[in-house]
Amino acid sequence: MKEFKSDSCLKCGTATNHFVFCEDCTPHYGQAVTVYENNLKKYLTLFIGSIPFFSVIASRLSGHLPVKWWMGTDALTMWAMPPGKSKTLVLLHRIKMRLLKPLIFQHWVTGPRLLEDLEKSGTLKMDEVLVAYWPGKYHTISEKKQHDGFNILYYDPLDTEFQRWKYGIDIIAKIKEQVSDVNWIKADGTQDMKELYTITDLYIRPSRHDGEPRINVECKVNRIPVIYSEDGNPSVEQFVKEINLIKKNRHDPSLKQ
């Protein structure tokens, strides 16, 4: 597995502890970001997730080297037809990526899980892809605030069939039935996450598919425990077991490892 790491932000040069962007320059899904690659003496155009066909051509014509930065859904739909996704759009996405392949200089992924997707699709081999760990927006620790109870944060951006499947919202509903005496905090992308981290005791993400979620990275920076379905097959029983153990450890310091 090849990794792309940087000691400084590719955009502004700020020290980053191996992340490719700093907190202020972290791009969002759908953005195209131009950076200068010192070793190549060339400009790279990073297409974050979304990659418009004619924008890649324009990048090449301008002398820049296009880089496709694969996100979870983009990689998954290269070989699978997840529930709730338009078959027509998925097929068009696959055709577009095969047409663009000769024009794309490099392929990056947000985490090792996505390497398997691209290999399954027959589009790329593992040695053709670089793992560039997706930096969270917040790289600094937020000061904790006093709060009552045990707060569990989860991510639920949209109430669509695909989003419910991808982020395991149905799994979260079952977990809620079995876990009592906690406060549930729903993040949907509209809140100030840095503020939420100050009152969060645990983050759960029973995802069926992701690369390296930014919230996972941000929670680790903020020393918030994360329960994440690494294999994409979330188990209600396992999540409940781990949640209860973390709750117990919080109230009984002698059990902490």
Q: In sequence order, what DSSP letters do the residues of 60-78 get, joined into one string?
A: HHTT-EEEEEE-HHHHHTT
DSSP 8-class letter at 253: G
Same domain, 21 and 123: yes
Parallel, antiparallel or unpaired: strands 42-48 and 32-37: antiparallel
**166/111 same-domain check:** no
Least confident of 18-32, 97-111, 176-190: 18-32
Indicate whether 219 pLDDT > 90: yes
User: Within a domain: residue 108?
Assistant: yes
- Whether 145 maps to a domain, the answer reads no
The confidence score (pLDDT) of residue 170 equals: 94
Q: Report the C-alpha gap between 210 and 214 in whole angstroms.
A: 10
Q: Kindly state whether residues 102 and 171 are assigned to the same domain.
A: no
Confidence of residue 249 (pLDDT cuts 50, 70, 90): confident
Average pLDDT over residues 91-117: 92
Asked if 122 and 187 sit in the same domain, the reply is no
- Find the range with the poorest average confidence among 17-26, 76-85, 104-113, 166-175: 17-26
Residue with tokens 């929670």: 219
User: What is the reported pLDDT for 256?
Assistant: 44
In a domain, 143, yes or no: no
Average pLDDT estimate for 94-102? 95
Is there a domain that residue 192 lies in? yes
Q: d(Cα 191, Cα 194) in Å, to the nearest integer?
A: 9
- Quickly state the pLDDT bin for 252 (edges 50, 70, 90): low
Give Dmax over CA atoms of the chain in angstroms.
63
Tell me whether residue 34 is in a domain.
Answer: yes
Listed residues 97, 131, 165: the one ending a domain: 131
Residue 144 lies in a domain: no
Residue 229: CB atoms within 10 A of its CB come to 19
Pairing of strands 15-18, 6-8: antiparallel
Residues 47 and 164 both lie in one domain: no
Instruction: Give me the percent of the chain exceeding a pLDDT of 90.
Output: 57
Do 50 and 96 have their domain in common? yes
**Residue at which a domain ends, from 131, 160, 182:** 131
pLDDT above 70: residue 254:
no
How far apart are alpha carbons 20 and 6 in whole angstroms? 5
25: containing domain = 2-131
Of 1-5, 49-53, 148-152, 175-179, where does mean pLDDT reach its minimum? 1-5
Are 65 and 122 members of one domain? yes
96 and 19 in a common domain: yes
- As a whole number, mean pLDDT of residues 46-50 equals 94
Instruction: Let me know whether 54 and 166 are in one domain.
Output: no
Residues 168, 113 share a domain: no
- Asked if 185 and 196 count as a contact pair (C-beta separation under 8 A), the reply is yes
* Residue 197: its H or E element: helix 193-197
Clarify whether residues 90 and 160 are in a common domain: no
CB 179 within 8 A of CB 243: yes
CATH number of the domain residue 171 falls in: 3.40.50
pLDDT at 253 over 70: no
The mean pLDDT of the chain is 89
pTM confidence score: 0.82
Identify the pLDDT of residue 255.
41
Total number of domains constituting the chain: 2
Q: What is the mean pLDDT of residues 144-169?
A: 90
